[in-house]
DNA sequence: ACTGAAAGCCGAGCCTG
DNA sequence: CAGGCTCGGCTTTCAGT
């Protein structure tokens, strides 16, 4: 699946504001509305664009506290086991297996510090968990909606302007 | 700013699909289209909804590799210094100051492992950085678009079903 | 504060260059 | 593969309850 510069510009425009009209996007990228629509349709077909979502302010919804938790598991634990277990916690908004000492890293959103504590407590109680190591987020410095930047522009890679 | 259950249902619907018609949302939550629109307008005014964005598949755009990097900084380093510095890297999609040994945690998206290495190299070269500790993501287990769950439903908190 | 109707405008499909 | 056109339908607004 090849993406040219036009596709990337369209994606960037839609990440910025998914409710723009096709005509507006066309103006930005230099295409007509129908041409933009056909490209957007294709981008959705191919899976480059997976959907459209409202951006919400977590703190406005009451999620004022977040934490990162490293998970140390028993040797025989499968990644799918971890996935299955943590999916059940709505507070776990992200999770990944990682290299290094820990087996997995969880990203947790909660209403307050006490809430974080309760969640970690219950996660640590799971059978395959040996121990956890958690860090409370003091202040969020960056939170980029993914897709804002495009990797193919190699000059920007690892080269702060 | 108070959010009642209707507002939360509307937000959940818009997070799921930001391009639904107001009539559809109204059907789901039991309101007319115009009532839904006015509530959405208010939610945008108050900042609960910050915008609408296309969901893109990072790997479809070429971001196939991600990593988490712990930053250990000099004692006099201000969070704003870190923020300013890492914002310049498009690869840093998230950053936060945290409790614990490290001063900050960065979330990096790159095209491949080599790219990750280059970025970390340049981050480590910054004046205030004493050392870094990085973990490559092996597989992503969970990636929840934020706002899908609502904290006020206290029964679900820390209580996997 | 929600409902319902009227007017403007966008989106989807087809057809042409 | 991009552009232009048309109609159905959604968004928006306003009056009404």
Judge if the beta carbon of A32 is closer than 7 A to nucleic acid strand D.
Answer: yes
Which tokens is A93 given? Answer: 């908004």
pLDDT at position A155: 45
Residue A58, C-beta contacts closer than 8 angstroms, at least 6 positions apart: A64, A66, A109, B146, B147
Greater pLDDT, A61 or B138: B138
Q: Is the pLDDT of residue B114 over 80?
A: yes
How many angstroms separate the CA of residue B27 from the nearest CA in chain A? 18
pLDDT tens per residue across span A62-102: 999 999 999 999 999 999 999 999 999 999 999 999 999 99
pLDDT band at B134 (very low <50, low <70, confident <90, very high): very high
pLDDT at position A161: 45
Candidates B31, B26, B19, B24; CA nearest to B55 is B19
Do A157 and B102 count as a contact with CB atoms less than 8 A apart?
no
Judge if the beta carbon of B34 is closer than 7 A to nucleic acid strand D.
Answer: yes
Do A90 and B156 count as a contact with CB atoms less than 8 A apart?
yes
Q: Would you say the C-alpha torsion A33, A35, A38, A41 has a positive or negative sign?
A: negative
pLDDT band at B145 (very low <50, low <70, confident <90, very high): confident
Answer whether A107's CB lies under 8 Å from B68's CB.
Answer: no
Is the pTM here over 0.95, yes or no?
A: no
Judge if the beta carbon of A85 is closer than 7 A to nucleic acid strand D.
Answer: no
End-to-end CA, chain A: 30
- Dmax of chain A from CA atoms? 58
pLDDT at position A32: 96
pLDDT at position A147: 64
Cα B122 to Cα B120: distance, rounded to the nearest angstrom: 5
**What are φ and ψ of residue A130, in 5° steps?**
-85, -50
Chain A partners within 8 Å of B137 (Cβ): 96-98
pLDDT band at B161 (very low <50, low <70, confident <90, very high): very low
Average pLDDT of chain B to the nearest whole number: 92
Any idea of the CA torsion for A143, A148, A150, A154, to the nearest 10 degrees? Answer: -60
Can you give the distance from the CA of residue A119 to the C1' of nucleotide D6 in angstroms?
Answer: 57
Which tokens is A76 given? Answer: 């025989």
Residue B127, C-beta contacts closer than 8 angstroms, at least 6 positions apart: none
pLDDT at position B21: 97
Candidates B35, B51, B122, B105; CA nearest to A19 is B51
Do A133 and B100 count as a contact with CB atoms less than 8 A apart?
yes
pLDDT band at B151 (very low <50, low <70, confident <90, very high): low
pLDDT at position A152: 61
Q: Is the pLDDT of residue B83 over 60?
A: yes
Q: Would you say the C-alpha torsion A135, A136, A139, A142 has a positive or negative sign?
A: positive
Can you give the distance from the CA of residue A26 to the C1' of nucleotide D4 in angstroms?
Answer: 14
pLDDT at position B27: 96
How many angstroms separate the CA of residue A63 from the nearest CA in chain B? 7
Q: Which of B51, B87, B93 sits opposite A55 (nearest CB)?
A: B51
How many angstroms separate the CA of residue A119 from the nearest CA in chain B? 5
Counting beta carbons within 10 angstroms of the beta carbon of residue B21, is it exposed (0 to 12), middle (13 to 18) or buried (19 or more)?
Answer: exposed
Q: Which residues of chain A have pLDDT under 70?
A: 146-161
Cα B103 to Cα B154: distance, rounded to the nearest angstrom: 32
Cα B50 to Cα A54: distance, rounded to the nearest angstrom: 8
pLDDT tens per residue across span B32-51: 999 999 999 999 999 999 99
pLDDT at position A2: 81
């Amino acid at each position: 699946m090849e993406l040219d510069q036009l596709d990337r510009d369209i994606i960037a425009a839609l990440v910025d504001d998914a409710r723009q009209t096709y005509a507006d996007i066309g103006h930005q990228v230099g295409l007509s509305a129908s041409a933009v629509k056909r490209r957007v349709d294709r981008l959705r077909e191919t899976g480059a664009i997976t959907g459209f979502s409202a951006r919400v302010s977590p703190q406005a919804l009451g999620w004022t506290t977040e934490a990162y938790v490293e998970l140390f598991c028993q040797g025989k634990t499968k990644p799918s086991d971890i996935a299955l277990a943590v999916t059940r916690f709505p507070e776990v908004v992200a999770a990944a297996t990682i290299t290094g000492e820990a087996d997995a890293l969880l990203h947790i959103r909660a209403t307050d510090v006490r809430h974080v504590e309760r969640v970690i407590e219950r996660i640590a109680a799971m059978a395959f968990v040996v121990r956890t190591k958690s860090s409370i987020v003091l202040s969020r410095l960056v939170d980029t909606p993914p897709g804002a930047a495009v990797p193919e522009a190699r000059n920007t890679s690892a080269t702060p302007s």
